[in-house]
Amino acid sequence: MAAKPAKATAPFRLLEATIEDIHSAFESGRLTARELVRRYLDRIEANDKKGPALNAIITLNSMALEEADRLDKAFKSNGLTGSLHGIPVVLKDQCDARGMPTTLGSVLFEDYYPDRDCFVVERLKKAGAVVLGKATLGELGGGDTHGSLFGSTRNPYDLERTVGGSSGGSAASVAANFSTVAVGQEGMASIRRPSTWNSIVGMRPTAGLVSRGGVYAGWPDIHGSLGPMARTVRDLARLLDVMAGYDPEDPLTARGVGHIPESYTDYLDNDGLRGARIGVLREPIGIASEPDSEDFKNVTEVFDRAVGELKTAGAEVVDPIVIPNLKEALAKRAGRPGGGKEAFQVYFGRSKNPPFKTLEEAMRSPKFERVNKRSRDRWLFPSNAMRHYEYLTARDALMTSILKVMADHRLDAIAHKAVEHQPTLINQVPYQDTKGVAHLNTYLVFVPSIVVPAGFTRDHLPAGICFLGRPYDDGTMIRLAYSYEQATLHRRPPAI
């Protein structure tokens, strides 16, 4: 008679724990959801406002332990309640979660408590996740992670530098093991840049896959998309499975119908790069990038190694590819006139007690002068209709041009530097919070882009490689990213 396998007795290790690790610990009896939440809260207590003082969290969920107790009780009766059972999640603080304020990192909204969860939070809770807290962000949802409500968030790999933005607190929380996964939002490079600078995986899915219902800066604007952030591609795929779906409150998600697979984890393939054709975009496309600087060259050195690693993993690399008139097109980016006002109305219109009825009323608040200047300027200077028309024309032409380049070279994806410069020093004034930012994916809107750690520069700062694909080919980007991650395993936690 075969002996029964011994029950696992090794203590649970919190640092770098994955969803799979946590669920295995639940099932073996080594861990409860309450113990897990408590340990993350202890790490936050020791490292966010004390110790290295990362300053990545704005609000903690006062009900997190109570929610964990409920999940532990359900687990005793029926096992895991969902794919994210007991998994602590941190949200960028422009996503609504009942019981917690949505501050946008600003003194303007420090007392705003929404009365409903956003669509994505509803799905997270249904899957068994525990919302642990709200993370810092670029004030009013954009720019680097500085805000009148909290100050500046510090990079766990170099406390004198920024975390990037605008989803910087989400990235720092994952990097420093304050949570298992996080939700970010990207309208320019707001997921991929902080993910790069914090050595984690981040994805801005194709617009229309994930709802912005109950999220500031959503419909009728189309550039901003929520996306998953995690320490591993597998955890990112599991989080995206829960987040993606149609929501009538965000009409843009109608475009995603029919494009969501049964599970993005089906694309996880160690040999996913073997035989894949990857075009390497060498042309500098980052905002205000300085190709002759040592800082730029440090990132290039990491990227060159990453291209070699693609080849070693079996990819067929086309290096370089040239996209005609690329920088000229990117320079034409412009917002839709009146889009910010309409999105403001839609977002606060879902609340019974909005803090302000209009954008103009918010700007008349005495607190508005305390908002950081870059954030104020986004509200004060509206877009120009002719510039927006020129952008739309250029965007359509560039989309066709890129798809033609991919077709001519039979490419599965385009690889480029995630950010072309190292993390900015916090004391740099003015904050160069878009320096080196590559925003090709959000310029085009309807393409997926994922960043994976590619190692560290000579200055011991994280750098990443970005995979960009055809519209709604998100699964392929996950396959390529996973294969690269498994072949290199560049992610390592910060010294803190």
For residue range 316-337, list pLDDT tens digits in order.
Answer: 999 999 999 999 999 999 999 9
Per residue in 23-73, pLDDT (tens digit) is 999 999 999 999 999 999 999 999 999 999 999 999 999 999 999 999 999
- Please check whether residue 396 lies inside any domain of the structure: no
If one counts the domains in the chain, the total is 1
Rounded distance, CA 15 to CA 247, Å? 35
pLDDT at 4 over 80: no
Per residue in 63-85, pLDDT (tens digit) is 999 999 999 999 999 999 999 99
Residue 199 is among the residues annotated as catalytic for this protein: no
Tell me if the bond preceding 449 is cis, omega within 30° of 0: no
- Please check whether residue 68 lies inside any domain of the structure: yes
E-state strands within 71-174: 88-92, 130-135, 146-147, 151-152, 154-155, 158-162
**pLDDT over 90, % of the chain:** 93
Average pLDDT over residues 363-372: 95
Residue recorded with tokens 């606060």: 348
Indicate which residue of 92, 125, 417, 435 is catalytic: 92
- pLDDT at position 373 is 87
- pLDDT at position 433 is 76
Q: Which helix (H) or strand (E) holds 451?
A: strand 449-456
Residue recorded with tokens 């959000």: 442
- Please check whether residue 254 lies inside any domain of the structure: yes
Backbone angles phi, psi at 372, to 5 degrees: -65, 150
- Please check whether residue 460 lies inside any domain of the structure: yes
Any residues with CB less than 8 A from the CB of 267 and at least 6 apart, and which?
237, 261, 475, 476, 478, 479, 482
Q: Give, in degrees to the nearest 5, the angle at Cα 268 between 267 and 273.
A: 90
pLDDT at 180 over 50: yes
Is the CB of residue 418 less than 8 Å from the CB of residue 466? Answer: yes
pLDDT at 467 over 90: yes
pLDDT at 1 over 70: no
- pLDDT at position 7 is 52
- Please check whether residue 8 lies inside any domain of the structure: no
pLDDT at 5 over 90: no
- pLDDT at position 429 is 58
What's the half-sphere exposure (Cβ side, CA atoms, 13 Å) at 115? 8
Average pLDDT over residues 275-301: 98
Is the CB of residue 313 less than 8 Å from the CB of residue 483? Answer: yes
Residue 166 is among the residues annotated as catalytic for this protein: yes
Per residue in 482-491, pLDDT (tens digit) is 999 999 999 9
Task: Give the pLDDT band of residue 181 (cuts 50, 70, 90).
Answer: very high
What's the alpha-carbon Rg for the chain, to the nearest Å? 21
Average pLDDT over residues 254-272: 98
Task: Give the pLDDT band of residue 103 (cuts 50, 70, 90).
Answer: very high
pLDDT at 383 over 90: no
Average pLDDT over residues 199-206: 98
Task: Give the pLDDT band of residue 431 (cuts 50, 70, 90).
Answer: low
Indicate which residue of 148, 190, 199, 449 is catalytic: 190
Task: Give the pLDDT band of residue 195 (cuts 50, 70, 90).
Answer: very high
- Whether this prediction's pTM lies above 0.75 is answered by yes
Residue recorded with tokens 């990227």: 303
**pLDDT over 70, % of the chain:** 97
Rounded distance, CA 218 to CA 85, Å? 28
CATH code of the domain covering residue 26: 3.90.1300.10
- pLDDT at position 381 is 80
Is the CB of residue 219 less than 8 Å from the CB of residue 248? Answer: no
Helix, strand counts (H, E) of the chain: 15, 15
Indicate which residue of 106, 166, 211, 375 is catalytic: 166
- Tell me what the pLDDT averaged over the chain comes to: 96
- Please check whether residue 124 lies inside any domain of the structure: yes
- Please check whether residue 41 lies inside any domain of the structure: yes
Average pLDDT over residues 239-260: 98
- pLDDT at position 382 is 77
- Please check whether residue 182 lies inside any domain of the structure: yes
Range of the domain at 108: 19-322+338-382+412-488
Q: Give, in degrees to the nearest 5, the angle at Cα 442 between 246 and 468.
A: 90
